[in-house]
Amino acid sequence: MNTHTDSEIRSRNIERFRRRGARLPTFGELADPRRIPESCRAPDDLDPDAPDPRNLFRVHWFNGPDRRGLQETPAYLRLDKRLTRVEAPILVAVGRRFPMIRAHKVLAAYACVAPRLVTGRFDLERHRAIWPSTGNYCRGGVAISRVLGGRGVAVLPEGMSAERFEWLGRWVAEPEDVVRTPGSESNVKEIYDACHALERDPTNVILNQFSEYANHVVHHDVTGPALAAVVEAARLETPDLAPAAFVAATGSAGTIAAGDYLKTAYGTRIAAAEALECPTLLKNGYGEHNIQGIGDKHVPLIHNVMNTDLVAAISDRSTDALNAVFNSDAGRRAVERATGWSADEVAELEAFGLSSICNILAAIGVAKRLGLGKNDAVVTIATDGAELYGSEKDRTVAERFDGEVTEAAAAEALDAHLFGATCDHVLELSDFDRERIFNLGYYTWVEQQGTPLEEFDARRDQGFWAGLRAERPAWDAAIEAFNAEAGQE
């Protein structure tokens, strides 16, 4: 990673922070928020969705139910056989408790800009931060830009949910700071093309989550330990429980780095989930889909492919249908009837957005493929909640439920898409498969995006990734020095 320091820009950033009385959290503090000094913690009366720099100290997994105070263990749901029809418990870390955007992608956005700020490679006064994504990362970037007193630009496909654009409309400085690119979830290259055009202006700085190694590092060092805390909490109930697998939709491949942490700590296998309609990793395939937030048609530069063990492909017909069932009155009654869950338990399903449902279905498929038992947990992430997909639910209800989700139709959907979930599209990767997937990335990163071949090839070696992560303490030291010079120790 680039460690060059521009002292002149760094000094300007420090002065800006001094005037605002703002402070940056270290990555170590976000990994263990108990380390955050009491004087820096966001006060309980501060709205967690306010554009206030003190909310940076809530960009972690340990927020309580009100998203204001801390709790000992990250929020998670333990899905059992009644819902999943597999013996292995599925532990789902809940991302909707993150501040400002109610999704964990704000963590990645912070990680991508903070090292640049403290080394003077990003000028808050002169630069615009360009945040390319398929939804939540660009929202996180816009939020981080605003609370730091800068300007952020969201670049995302025009086919994303209406709720995303409504949120962006409230947070950007100017309407032109939302750049809509052609297509929908699958059209990542079109995002890159727009970024290349924006990059012609030297005041625009592209913070590409798909190639920013800080995205990998922060999820390894912050999300990884948070998931380990979830595992240890679950072990209080089941002492012999072991995290047999970790599942994450690839997306930018940031979150899946938490699997690298779990593999080192527990020997956990790592599964990458994607859309069946666009099976890039599974079949070198292509297509369109609606599992919003996972991106595809390419292999992200920051995906540690050679450490990935399985690929699971999930249909958007399943995620769309279950989103409608989980978030309708009749659908929830059908879940209660089929599972024996209480109404309060079923209400927790609103924590699952489209990509979250994808992760859960992939976890079920992985459990079936690996033949996991009751002491073999599958760990995964609920990136965001259902509140971002009300318009998508309405569309699905209109198109596939004849305008109304009835209990009978919901029961049929549950049987087809949840209880009947299979492992037909789950592949255990051989060395040959890993090489195939790794090589596919060449066409995006070397031929299209200009990544040096030496850097691209170096990513085969686990030492490359360990070397990246070894730099994180230096980032924290740089943040601490920046804070001290800004008078915010």
Q: Report the run of H or E that residue 72 belongs to, with start and end.
A: none
pTM of the predicted model as reported, rounded to 2 decimal places: 0.96
Question: Does residue 382 surpass a pLDDT of 80?
Answer: yes
Going by C-alpha positions, the residue among 168, 206, 188, 195 that lies closest to residue 251 is 188
Give residue 3's pLDDT band: very low, low, confident or very high (50, 70, 90): low
For residue 90, the surrounding DSSP H or E stretch is strand 90-94
Residue 1 predicted with pLDDT over 90: no
pLDDT of res. 295: 60
The DSSP secondary-structure symbol of 35 reads G
Q: What pLDDT does residue 2 have?
A: 57
Tokens representing residue 301 in the block:
């530069």
| HSE-CB for 198 with a 13 A CA cutoff | 28
The CATH number of domain 76-99+214-428 is 3.40.30.10? no
**Per-residue pLDDT tens digits for 463-486:** 999 999 999 999 999 999 999 999
Cα–Cα distance for residue pair 223/286, rounded to 1 Å: 30
Q: What is the pLDDT of residue 34?
A: 96
Average pLDDT over residues 240-269: 96
Confidence of residue 135 (pLDDT cuts 50, 70, 90): confident
Domain boundaries, the chain: 76-99+214-428
Q: What is the pLDDT of residue 327?
A: 97
Nearest 10 degrees: CA dihedral of 53, 55, 61, 65? 180
- Residues 55-86 have pLDDT tens digits of 999 999 999 999 999 999 999 999 999 999 99
Question: Tell me: the pLDDT tens digits for 145-185?
Answer: 999 999 999 999 998 889 999 999 999 999 999 999 998 77
Residue 165 and residue 135: Cα distance in Å, rounded? 9
Average pLDDT score, the chain: 95
- Over residues 4-23, mean pLDDT: 92
Using DSSP's 3-state secondary structure scheme, residue 78 falls into strand
